[in-house]
Amino acid sequence: MNAVLQYAVQGLAAGSFYALAALGLAIIFGVLGVVNFAHGAFYMLGAVAAAVLLDTLGLTLWWALLAVPLLMFGFGVVVERLLVQWLLRLDPLYNFLLTFGLTLVLVEAVKQRYGVSGLPYKPPDVLSGRVELAGVVLPRYQLFVFLFSVAICVLVWLLMTRTRVGMIVRAATEKPELARALGINVGRWVTPVFGFGVALAGLAGVLAAPFRAITADMGNNFAIILFAVVVIGGLGSIVGAVVAGFMVGLVEAFGQAYAPTFAQILIFVLMAVIILVRPAGLFGRKEATA
């Protein structure tokens, strides 16, 4: 029983991280309709930036959690203005190709600059050690990631549903004609929303730096899991991304414990089953916008 509880806690911790990382992907799709294949690369850039800032300027994790998302926001804005905006009105396939190509370029650029064997990263001492409760052990850092991710997810959700900006953005994307008729400048919101999504990917990357290998390829495998998360949750649904993130974390943890070889495949089995039952995902568009 204790073991089951241990796996569940680990699964929830991993799940919160998946939820946070998938959030930006869901927002970018929800608002721009762009299937952002470069999300894994943005996540990787976040981790690399954290490592480089620590190495060159001595910026610790705390500062990186602030600075890197800001940098990534700026980077996202540039990418949107330079590249993505020209393809927004075309077939989504073009955006898929663009972001996929962008991934290749970013990964290769990081390889050229920093090599392939990865960058070192030392987390703050406060976050080392473990927390034990009722026989369940969780590394203190994992607990921090869990709390931090949940807090960000709640904040984003409040931002999108309870603030004027969030409502404008949602109106602008769901009923652009009507929004325009009401005098809302739709185009104005597309760029910052894309930047915001990229910043969230970068933030996940910073969180990953202490417990994952920081290499140019770190986003490749991760992005595949993230896509499973947003598809399970319902493309573009924020609540869906969060709920599905936790589901995937749990499935992975119990898979690792009881069917190790199938740990990753189980995630996609879950995805297949959910799509069969609910083709639009758990919180497909209609529910998410109700």
What residues make contact with other proteins under the rule CB under 8 A?
A: 3, 6-7, 10-11, 13-14, 111, 115-122, 128-130, 137, 139, 141-142, 210-213, 215, 217-218, 221-222, 252-254, 256-257, 260-261, 263-265
CB of 65 to other proteins, least distance (A): 18
Using the structure block, give the residue that is written with the tokens 């652009």: 176
Those residues with Cβ within 8 angstroms of residue 145's Cβ, 6 or more apart along the chain or in another chain: 13, 16, 17, 207, 211
CB of 279 to other proteins, least distance (A): 27
Burial group, residue 105, by CB count within 10 angstroms (0-12, 13-18, 19+): exposed
Between 186-208 and 140-162, two packed helices, what is the crossing angle to 10 degrees? 170
Q: Closer to other proteins by CB, 10 or 36: give it.
A: 10
Q: Closer to other proteins by CB, 122 or 188: give it.
A: 122
Q: Closer to other proteins by CB, 238 or 251: give it.
A: 251
CB of 91 to other proteins, least distance (A): 32
Using the structure block, give the residue that is written with the tokens 């089951």: 4
CB of 270 to other proteins, least distance (A): 15
Q: Closer to other proteins by CB, 83 or 224: give it.
A: 224
What token pair was written down for 2? 């204790």
Provide φ and ψ at 244, rounded to 5°. Answer: -65, -35
CB of 3 to other proteins, least distance (A): 6
Those residues with Cβ within 8 angstroms of residue 89's Cβ, 6 or more apart along the chain or in another chain: none
CB of 73 to other proteins, least distance (A): 25
